[in-house]
Amino acid sequence: MEPSAAIQIANHLLEGLGFMLAIGLAGIVLAKRTGIPDVAIFLVVGMLLGPQAAGRLAGDAASGGVIAQTFAHIAGLLAIPADSAINQGILTLGAAYILFDGGASLRLKVLSEVWISITVISTVGVLITAFVTAGAAYYILHVPFIVALLLGSTIASTDPATLVPVFRQVPIKDRVAQTVMSESAFNDAMGAIITFAILGVATGAGEFSLSHALFDLVKESFLGIATGLLLGYVAVNLIAHKQFGVLADFAPIVTLTGVIGSYMVAVAVGGSGFMAVFVFGIAIGNMDAFGLHVAHETGEKMENYVAITATIWRTFIFTLLGAQVDFALMNQYLGGGILVVLIFMLIARPLTVFLCVKPDRRANWSNNEMLFMCWTRETGVIPAALAGMMMGMKAPGAPIIASVTFIAVLMTILIQATTTAKVGDKLGLLIKK
């Protein structure tokens, strides 16, 4: 009896997820042996085995029979459309969980020393990066300035889904690592708000209002932080309170429920879902701030669960991201796109860092610390999602924006993420084990 269409889809999805987990296991082993961050390996493997590359190999090997069928089957496993509900669900939950993992690794004592730098670089810094990149795109790609602004705002925010796992593998000085991770969590809302404000002007759906944009930023930030704190407080009490800690034995399930709940509640009330899960993570990782402590066994169990689950999610995210790179589209603007991204990496980012964090006398950043922050600002899931949305909406200049965004994702992850340890060591910021 022929299985129903629903069962066939379910079987295909399970096969694809299983295949990506196998890729993840191989990638983790390779990452440990080579010292290359696993996210870079997942991205490259996704590109090589995705529908475009594997599909082309299948065509080249058409006379080979079994070989052609194998490549075609692999291409089919990773052929999950970027605008599908499955893809959006994986990217959203995966990014949220990785962001939670990053929040849980931060310490309030460290953040209290550098909060001014984090606030400025996450807000003003995004604007500086967006406008410098827009200027480069305007002169190099010869596009209307509104399209150049859309491109600059799309790739202006950094990516927690990339940075958190990199710093899990590369032991960098605490306050530097936690500043960069916190920036990546807090600047997503700013990047999205600027992008959609400019998009409204570009499509004639509205006029840009600085006061309205600032109000939206403050509102989304406040509601996201408040949601994360509230659910974090409830969660830590259910896990660690002497009287109410009835779920101590189920701490991993509480954290997963809290991640999903924080994101959904924040979005429902008009806040930033990603900011909410990040703050929820900070609450879970700093239970002592609430005067609560968990048993060593419970804490160890929770840490192991979070680490393994975060690894699974980043396997899914970056394999899919690599599989969805549109080589034909990227090739149309390859030369100019590379030049724009080089200016983005080597001019816009350093300018942003030195203008935003050097004036912070409280943090008293050294030149080496600032140079490291200049180099560490990978682009990933959030900018790719924004570019995908604009393609779906047929926004002005969407093909150019998507092309350069893919180039930025590839260049920053494959160049910057893979050299983070070397740069950190050269600047004397690597913690020796």
For residues 13, 15, 19 and 25, what is the CA-based torsion angle, rounded to 10 degrees?
Answer: 100
pLDDT grade, residue 370 (50/70/90)? very high
pLDDT grade, residue 64 (50/70/90)? low
User: Which of 381, 323, 310, 324 lies closest to 91, judged by CA?
Assistant: 381
DSSP 258-299: HHHHHHHHHHHTTS-HHHHHHHHHHHHHTGGGGT----HHHH
pLDDT the model gives residue 20 = 80
Mean pLDDT of 28-42: 79
The tokens of 178 are what?
A: 């936690």
CA 209-381-378 angle, to 5 degrees, is 90
Distance CA 274, CA 365 (A): 27
User: Which of 131, 107, 129, 110 lies closest to 120, judged by CA?
Assistant: 129
Q: Quickly count: other Cβ atoms within 10 Å of residue 25's Cβ.
A: 11
pLDDT the model gives residue 402 = 84
pLDDT grade, residue 341 (50/70/90)? very high
pLDDT digits (tens, 9 = 90+) for 186-227: 787 777 778 877 877 777 655 656 677 677 777 888 898 899
Own/partner contacts of 293-297, CB < 8 Å, gap of 24 or more, are: 293/240, 294/239, 294/240, 294/248, 294/251, 295/248
pLDDT digits (tens, 9 = 90+) for 240-280: 877 777 777 788 888 889 999 999 999 899 888 888 888 89
The tokens of 241 are what?
A: 């309170």
Taken in order of first residue, the domains within the chain and their CATH numbers are 5-77 (no CATH), 85-426 (1.20.1530.20)
One-letter identity of residue 135:
G
CB 201 within 8 Å of CB 245? no
Lowest mean pLDDT among 39-43, 273-277, 413-417, 422-426: 39-43
Whether the pLDDT of residue 61 is over 60: the answer is: no
Distance CA 361, CA 359 (A): 6
What share of the chain in percent tops pLDDT 70? Answer: 88
pLDDT digits (tens, 9 = 90+) for 126-137: 999 999 999 999
pLDDT grade, residue 60 (50/70/90)? low
User: Which of 16, 24, 10 lies closest to 318, judged by CA?
Assistant: 24
What share of the chain in percent tops pLDDT 90? Answer: 20
